[in-house]
Amino acid sequence: MKKWKCTVCGYIYDEAKEKTPFEELPDDWTCPQCGAPKSAFIPIEGTKKEDKAEASVAEKIVEQLIAYGVSRVFGIPGHSNLPLTEAIRKNPDMDLILTRHEESAAFMASAHAKLTGELGVCMSIAGPGATNLITGIVDAATDRAPVLALLGQVPKVFLGSESLQEIAEVDIFKTFCVYAELISNPGQALKVLNQGIKKAYAAPGPSALSLPTDVLEESLGEKIWEPKHHLFCPDLSPGDEVKKAAELIKKSKRPLLFAGWGARGCGSELIKLARHIGAPIATTSRAKGVVPESDELVLGVLGSIGNSFAPRIVARSDLIIILGSGFRQRQLVPDVDVIQVDIDATRVGKTFPVKLGIVGDASRVVKMLNRETEERKMEEEFRKAVNKANKDYQAVLKKDAENKQKPIYPGAVVQALKRQLADDALICSDVGDHTYWFYKRFVCEAQQTLFCANMAGMGFGIPAAIACQMEQPNRQVVAYAGDGGFGMVGMEFTTAVHNRLPLTVVVLNDGKLKNIKKEQEEYGYPEYRVSFPNPNLADMASSCGGLGIRVKEPQQLDKALREALDSSLTALVEVIVDPNEYISAVRRQEM
């Protein structure tokens, strides 16, 4: 006699108790507990030894992910992903990081991928759980991070019947994912999973798999794939184009290097190239910290959230060498020759015409340029302009550092952070007016930054910091947020406390969506619906089991930050800042 299990609700049909073999039940028989059809039942271990089940599809998925180096999945368990949750629980090499919201889980997976270059994985239940992932998955799509979303789905037998929480997951996710597919039977599982991972790495970008509950429970005897035999990276060596670039550099008088995210792995080579060809360096916001910003040749961030001094030098250049960026802000680039390097051919010349396009890895191209170009000095007048821009910038930073106004000046917070953070700290910035202050006024030495760059999605900072602190537990990690973004995902502070993470959250509290207020003003609109009441966020942090510190006096900033950074607890520093002090986006400046 056998036992049969409903893959929808888990009900067990025991032939010994029911007195009727399952196969002899009428075809229209349904599960007495949930109403699922007879086809939703699978045999489980009975009295016969040969009935013993093999590993489930869910268990094989977990095993395959581990083979790719994945050790944690971010998400929330629920009815439609319980087989996957159980498979994670049973495997000692995998962990489920419980989040408060699926959006945070996707942000965490994206941040993990951005930090490490390795696959970030998140999971959800069907319906609202899947849709809640979207913002973080779109962040991974637009910032080109390899992410895999595992979407719980209603049982296969209910697909198309408007079942509770059923949505067309594949149709929705394929609009922004590089790959989205339904696993409808066990024979597909490993093929589709590996294809999703390969696509995520190749783009890079997010893949999404829709996983019906009943399919997850079915048996699968197939062996997992060995990644070394299936996952390969492109090896692009554009030698001829690099030689052409060297000729253009030789003919120019005032070349300028502009480094993006694609050049993040070659900071020392970038500085070497700058000195070699006599060129200053600007970076995109995502590449902030790739080169030490205190170096005399480094101009800082060029872009709407960058400083106001870099565009002055860009306007004087006669050749711009864009390395690892699509850079869409055409208005900040003068009408001069452009060399653009990107590993994605579709991004080269996407926004404006380029003199020379090079499809290849920016880090490799930088090294090749160091070999192919001739050594030269920077034009004297160009050097004087660079020195003046740096001197003027330092004067602004000094003024910010000395500002003691109340409520606290946002620039003073940035300079206090600069004084207290370790040189190799990792800062995960949220989105808002505070972001402008940070990217314009914080001078990175060897600090690293992470940002929701292309989507500019509020709520990124804290989930990102959690994922990064888990990945690099001995590093100083800071989430830098406004009260608007904190209000969206602030309860993830408890996730950090629960996992005993020593990260520090810095929240600038002005009781406003100040960036929106600024935009209303720029359009000539009156301020409207951008203010909200906040609780005492420091008290909230303390009540969650962390360390909470509220700062109202500028003289308290350094002490409060030092206490938080030195604490072994998850810490939150709430700074009451002036709601009327904000900073504008950069416009192109001609000189």
Listed in sequence order, the residues at least 6 apart from 553 whose beta carbon sits closer than 8 Å to its beta carbon are 406, 408
Mean pLDDT of 538-555: 98
- Phi (first) and psi of residue 494, to 5 degrees: -70, -30
Residue 108: the pLDDT is 98
Residue 589: the pLDDT is 47
Listed in sequence order, the residues at least 6 apart from 21 whose beta carbon sits closer than 8 Å to its beta carbon are 1, 2, 15
Residue count of the chain: 591
Cβ-count burial of 551 within 10 angstroms (0-12 exposed, 13-18 middle, 19+ buried)?
buried
- Has residue 118 got a pLDDT over 90? yes
- Among residues 26, 51, 52, 48, which one has the least CA distance to residue 39? 26
CATH T-level fold of 57-223: Rossmann fold (3.40.50)
pTM of the model: 0.90
- Has residue 53 got a pLDDT over 70? no
Residue 42: the pLDDT is 81
Query: % helix / strand / coil in the chain, to the nearest 5?
Result: 40, 20, 40
Residue 156: the pLDDT is 81
Q: Could you give the CA distance from residue 202 to residue 231 in angstroms, rounded to a whole number?
A: 9
Cβ-count burial of 588 within 10 angstroms (0-12 exposed, 13-18 middle, 19+ buried)?
middle
3-state secondary structure of 315: helix
At residue 469 the predicted structure's pLDDT band, cuts being 50, 70 and 90, is very high
Cβ-count burial of 28 within 10 angstroms (0-12 exposed, 13-18 middle, 19+ buried)?
exposed
Q: Could you give the CA distance from residue 185 to residue 170 in angstroms, rounded to a whole number?
A: 16
Least-confidence region, from 35-49, 302-316, 344-358, 555-569: 35-49
Mean pLDDT of 431-440: 95
- Has residue 51 got a pLDDT over 80? no
Confirm if 502 and 422 have CB atoms less than 8 A apart: no
At residue 329 the predicted structure's pLDDT band, cuts being 50, 70 and 90, is low
The structural domains of the chain, with segments of one domain joined by +, span: 3-51, 57-223, 239-384, 403-576
- Has residue 44 got a pLDDT over 80? no
Mean pLDDT of 86-115: 98
- Has residue 330 got a pLDDT over 80? no
- Has residue 125 got a pLDDT over 60? yes
3-state secondary structure of 546: coil
Residue 48: the pLDDT is 44
Is there a common fold for 239-384 and 403-576?
yes
Q: Could you give the CA distance from residue 535 to residue 537 in angstroms, rounded to a whole number?
A: 6
Q: Could you give the CA distance from residue 448 to residue 463 in angstroms, rounded to a whole number?
A: 16
Pick the CATH number of 3-51 from 1.10.10.10, 2.20.28.10, 3.30.365.10, 3.40.50.620: 2.20.28.10
CATH T-level fold of 403-576: Rossmann fold (3.40.50)
Residue 41: the pLDDT is 86
Mean pLDDT of 217-223: 92
User: Tens digits of per-residue pLDDT, 360-369?
Assistant: 999 999 999 9
Q: Could you give the CA distance from residue 263 to residue 484 in angstroms, rounded to a whole number?
A: 32
* Portion of the chain with pLDDT greater than 90, in percent: 81
3-state secondary structure of 146: coil
For every residue of 202-224, which 3-state class applies, written as one string?
HCCCEEEEEEEHHHHHCECCCCC
User: Tens digits of per-residue pLDDT, 151-183?
Assistant: 999 888 777 777 777 889 999 999 999 999 999
User: Tens digits of per-residue pLDDT, 474-496?
Assistant: 999 999 999 999 999 999 999 99
68: tokens are 């790719």
Cis peptide bond prior to 473, omega within 30° of 0 = no
- Has residue 135 got a pLDDT over 50? yes
Residue 36: the pLDDT is 84
Which residue has 């680039």 as its token pair?
333
Confirm if 110 and 121 have CB atoms less than 8 A apart: no
Residues paired with residue 548 on neighbouring β-strands, in sequence order: 572
For every residue of 9-62, which 3-state class applies, written as one string?
CCCEEEHHHHCCCHHHCCCCCECCCCCCEHHHEEEECCCCHHHCCCCEHHHHHH
At residue 50 the predicted structure's pLDDT band, cuts being 50, 70 and 90, is very low
Residue 49: the pLDDT is 40
DSSP string, 406-424: SSBPHHHHHHHHHHHS-TT
Residues paired with residue 123 on neighbouring β-strands, in sequence order: 75, 150
- Among residues 121, 288, 280, which one has the least CA distance to residue 206? 121
The type of residue at 222 is: E
Which residue has 């800082």 as its token pair?
300
- In CATH, the number for domain 239-384 is 3.40.50.1220
Residue 47: the pLDDT is 41
Q: Number of C-alpha atoms within 13 angstroms, CB side, residue 106?
A: 28
Per the model's pLDDT, the better-predicted residue between 236 and 330 turns out to be 236
Mean pLDDT of 372-389: 95
